[in-house]
Structure 1
Amino acid sequence: MSNIKDSFELDDYESDANENDDICSNSRCKLVTEKEINRKDDSYILHLSSTSDASCNIIIGTSNNSCEIFRLGENQLAKLETIENFEHPIIGVRFSPESNDLVYIGTSLGNIQLWDLRTPQKFAIEFSEVSSDKPSDVAKTLICFDVSSNNRLLSAGTELYKGEAFILFWDIRNKSLMGAYWESHTDDVTQVVFDPNDVDKLMSGSVDGLINVFDVKQTNEDDALIDSLNTESSVEQLLWYNNKGKDFIGCITHTVDLQLWSPDDAELYAHFRRCDITHAMKRKSEAHCYVASCHRLLGNELLFLAGSNWNEGEHLKCIFTNNKKIEPFCALKENRQRVRCSVFNQHHNLLMTGGEQGILSVWDVNMTL
C-alpha cells in the first residue's frame, strides 16, 4: 500500500559518514538554540508542550517528576520557572487553549493539575477521579490526557483497573468528574486526543490495537462510539489532520509503523512499516530505527521525526508524507540525543525536541517543498 522513492539507497554501514544528504539539505532545518536541563539522576525529557506564538512559552516534563518552563526570545531560551517534587510520574503537559500562562500537568496517580505560571507556588485547580468526600477510594493509574480546543472538557485514559480500561471526563468549568467510558477498550488506554476542529469528537488508542472515535455529546458509551479501527498492533501516538477537507488520523504504533486512517471510510489509507521508514532514512538496521512523533502541516500532509539509536541517537530526520508516499525532507545534523518528544509550531515553522540527554532544542524548519 505504501510507496518509497527508489532513488535512496541503503548505507553499507550504520554510519552517517558516507551519507549523501543533498536532497535532505541541512539548510531546510537549522538549529536555532538549545538548552540542557538540570539533570538530576541523569533525568531526560519525556513530555513537551508550547504556545503557538513565535516567542513562545515551552514546558517540559522530565523523568525525575519535575517540570521546567522556558521562554523563547531572540533565538535564546530563558528559563522562567521550575515546578518539582511531584510524588508520581508525569504523564503529560499541555498549555491551556485560552492562556499562555495556564498549563495542565498530569501525573499517574489519578490527578491533573492546572497551574498559573504567574503564581507558580501552588497549582490553581486539581482534577481528580477520587472525591474528597471519599478519601478511601483508590485512584486509577492515568497514562494520558488531553484538553478540548475550547477548554471545556478534560479527558484521561487509564491502565487496566479490575479488568477494565477507563476514559475519564471532567468539566473544566465546574472541576467535576462528569463520568467515564469503560467498555470500548480491553487494555491500557495509551492516547486520548480531541479533534482540534470539532470539540465534540475524541479519539482514543490502546494497547489492544483499537482506535476508537467518540461523539462526546452522547452520555451513553454505545451511542457515543462512532468508529472502531483495528491497527492490529499497539497504539503509541495519535493525531488528527486534514486532507482535502476530510478528517484523517495518523497513528504511530509500538512496532514503529505509521498508519494513516480515513474515519469517513473506516479504512486504512496508507501504511508505512518500519522497513519502509528505515529505507526512507537511508539506514541499514531496522532494529535501531524509531519514530519519535508526527505533526500536522498547514497543507494536507504530515511531518514526522524518525531517528536511529545508533551512535547515541544522533541520527534524526524529518520525513513528510506525500499522498501515499513518504519522502525524506531534512536531516537534523546538530541533534545529539535520542528524541522522546517534540512539538511543531506550524504557524512559525518552529520544531522543538527533547530527549534522553536532557537537551531542549529549537529548530527553524523551512517548509518550502
Structure 2
Amino acid sequence: MMIDDLIIMPHGDSDNSQQNYSDSDPDDDNLDEFTSCTCSIEKHISSEYILHVTATNENHPTCVLGLSNYTCEVYTIGESGIAKVGALHTYEDKVIGCKFSTTDKNSLYTGSSDGSIHLWDMRVMKKPALLFKDTTLKDGSQMKPFTCFDISPNDRLLAVGTDLCGSDVFTLFWDVRKGDLLGGYWESHTDVITEVKFHPDDVNKLISGSVDGLINLYDLSQPCEDDAFMDSLNTNSSVDHLQWFKQGTKDCITCVTDVTSDLQLWDLDKADPYKHLSRKDLSKLIKKKKEDYIYLAGCHDSEGQLMVLVGSNYETGDCLRSLQIEKAIIKPHFEFKGNQQIVRSSSYNKNTNILLTGGENGILAIWRL
C-alpha cells in the first residue's frame, strides 16, 4: 500500500517559526502539524558513535551504551544531568547489542561479533556473571561471528543470530540459568541473520530477519527446526530491523529494510505487508521536499500505536521527526527541536514516556514526550 492509500491527519500545536534546515534539504511550509519537543537533558558522551542504547524502566533510569570503539558504558540519568558510572567491557570486535532483562533491572546482556554474550549483575559490574559462547567449536573449526541477540520475556532463553559461517548461518539458543548451549537452527535462512526478536508476551514465539530478505516465524516449543518453522514472509529486500507490535489484538511486525530504508508493516495472517512506506513516502510525511537524505531512526510500540522516528542525514543531521501510526491513520507527531546528530539508536519507555537517542556525534539525548 503506497502513500496515496493512507489517511494522513494533522496533529498538535507547535511553534510556527520553523525554518528550513538548508536550501539543499528544504522543508514544506506546514511544519505546524508537528508538536515541538525539546531535549530535557543531553551529554556529549564520546567522539565515537553511539550504536546501541538500552535503559531501565524508572523515571531516572540507568542507561547502557554500546559504542563504535567496541566498549559498553554505563550512565545514570537524573534531574541534575547524566553521570557516568563506569565501563563494562572492551570487546575484540563490534558491539552487537546491549539489553536489560525484562524481569530484573540488575541483569544486563551485552554481546559482540567476536562470538560472546555477557550477562552482568549491575550491582557488581567488575566481571560478568555468565559468559555465553559456542561450546561446539573444536580445534581448527571456524568461529560463528554473532550479529544480533535477544532474551525471552521470562529471561530464560537467549537467542543469537550469526554471520555466514562457510555456507551456513545459525540461530543459536542458550539456557540462561545454566549457561548451556541448547542447540540451533541452520536451514531456514541462507544469508546473514540481522535480527532475532522474541514476542514480548509469548516465550515460545520468535521471529528472525536476514539479508536473504526473509522474516521467519518459529514456535520454540517444538522439538526441531522443521517442526518449529511456522511461516516465512518475503520482504523482497535485505532486512535491517524488526519489532513486534499490537494492532488491536493482532500480532504485527515492523520491518526496516537495509539498503532502501523502507518501512513495512506486517500482519502475520497476510502474505504481503499491509503498509509499505518508501523513502519518498516518508519524506512527504515528515514534510521534506527531497527524499535523498531520509533515514529511519527507529520504531517503537506505544500502547497500540507506532512511533516511527525519521530523520534527514543532510550535513549535521539536525532534522529528527516522528510519525504516529494507528491502523490506517498516519499523523505528524513530534519535531525534536535541538537534535544535533544522525541518530543511530533509540530506546523508548512507554510507561514513563521517555525517549533516549544516541548517534554519530556521540551525544546521549533524553526527550520527555
Q: TM-score, normalised by structure 2?
A: 0.92
Quick one: distance in 2 between partners of 1:345 and 1:323?
21
Q: Tell whether the 8 Å contact from 1:14 to 1:283 is kept in structure 2 after alignment.
A: no
Consecutive unaligned residues of structure 2, counting only runs of 5 or more, are 12-19
Residue 86 (1) aligns with residue 91 (2)? yes
Corresponding letter in the other structure for 1:30: T
Amino acid at match of 1:89: K
Gaps of at least 5 residues in structure 1 are none
Aligned pairs for 1:166-315 (under 5 A) are: 166-254=170-258, 255-298=260-303, 300-315=304-319
Residue 313 of structure 1: SS of its match in structure 2? coil
Q: Over residues 181-209 of structure 1, what are the superposed CA-to-partner deviations in whole Å (9 max), with x where a residue is unaligned? A: 11111110000000001010000000111
Match of 1:31 in 2: 39
In structure 2, C-alpha distance between the alignment counterparts of 1:232 and 1:153, rounded to whole Å: 30
Distance across 1 between alignment mates of 2:311 and 2:204: 35
Q: What does 1:94-133 align with in structure 2 at a 5 Å threshold?
A: 94-131=99-136
Alignment-mate amino acid for residue 206 of structure 2: L
Cα offset, 1:217, TM superposition: 1.1
Residue 320 of structure 1 aligns to a residue in which SS?
Answer: strand
Moved over 6 A (4+): none
Q: Which residue of 2 aligns with 1:345?
A: 349
Asked whether the equivalents of residues 111 and 127 of structure 1 are also in contact (C-alpha less than 8 Å), the reply is yes
Mapped contact 1:212–1:226 kept (Cα < 8 A)? yes
Q: Deviations over 1:39-79 (max 9, x none)?
A: 3xxx1100111112212111000000111111122252222
Is 1:59–1:93's contact at 8 Å kept on the other side of the alignment?
Answer: yes
Kindly provide the CA deviation profile for residues 204-235 of structure 1, in whole angstroms up to 9, marking residues without a partner as x.
Answer: 00011100010011121111011100011111
Partner deviation per Cα, 1:260-310 (whole Å, 9 max, x = no partner): 111133442111111110111111221210001100011x22001100011
Distance 2:45 2:288 in 1: 30
- Cα deviation for residue 83 of structure 1 reads 2.1
Q: For the Cα contact (< 8 Å) 1:191–1:205, is it kept in 2?
A: yes
Q: Is the 8 A contact 1:92 1:106 kept in 2?
A: yes
Shift in alpha-carbon separation, 1:268–1:187, aligned structure 2, 3 A: same
Structure 1 131/162 Cα, relative in aligned 2: closer, same or farther at 3 Å? closer
- TM-score normalised over the length of structure 1: 0.92
Computed over aligned residues only, the root mean square deviation of the Cα atoms, in angstroms, reads: 2.0
The one-letter code matched in structure 2 to 1:122 is K
SS at match of 1:213: strand
Deviations 1:230-261 (A, max 9, x none): 01111111011111111111111111111111
Sequence identity percentage: 42
Aligned to 1:324: 328
Task: Tell me the amino acid that sits aligned with residue 315 of structure 1.
Answer: C
Contact in 1 for aligned 2:255/2:264 (Cα 8 Å)? yes
Q: Is the 8 A contact 2:216 2:233 kept in 1?
A: yes
Is residue 102–residue 116 contact of structure 1 (8 Å, CA) maintained in 2?
Answer: yes
1:136 CA drift (Å): 4.7
Distance, in Å, in 1 between the alignment partners of 2:326 and 2:102 is 30
Cα distance, 1:25 vs structure 2:
2.3
Q: 1:324 Cα shift?
A: 2.4
Counterpart-to-counterpart distance in 2, 1:153 and 1:17: 46
**Whole-Å separation in 2 of the counterparts to 1:16 and 1:4:** 24
- 1 CA distance for matches of 2:192 and 2:298? 20
In structure 2, distance between residues paired with 1:323 and 1:248: 11
